[in-house]
Amino acid sequence: MAKVSKIVSNQKKIKKANKYDSIRLSLRKKIRDCNIPLKNRMEAIKELQNLGVNYKLRVRNRCWKTGRPRGYLRYFGLSRINFREMAAAGCLPGIRKLS
C-alpha cells in the first residue's frame, strides 16, 4: 500500500487541476483566437502564466484500492496485482481467468 501522504497529495493535485481547468481552457482559447487583438491575447498569456503549473500533468494515476502508482490499469482503476486478485475472486463482471 502506498504512503497515505502520497495519496493525499495526489488528491490535492486533482482538486487543484479541476478547479483551474475551466479557467485555463478559456484562456488558451482566447490566446489561439486570431480575431482578438494582440494586446488582449498578450494579457491572456500573462494571466495563464500567473496561474502556475498545469496540475493536470502532475496528477499520478493510482489504484483506488491501495494507492499503488505502478502497474495501473486505466479501464479498471486498479493496479495489476489488485486486478488479478479481484478477477480471480470473481469481483469484476465479465472477467474470467483464461486457463
Output phi, psi for 97, to 5 deg: -70, 135
Residue 96 pLDDT > 90 = no
pTM (whole model) above 0.75: no
99 pLDDT above the threshold of 80: no
Lookup: cell for 99: 486457463
Dihedrals phi, psi of 86, to nearest 5 degrees? -70, -35
How many Å apart are CA 70 and CA 44, to the nearest integer?
A: 37
**Model confidence band, residue 57 (pLDDT cutoffs 50, 70, 90):** confident
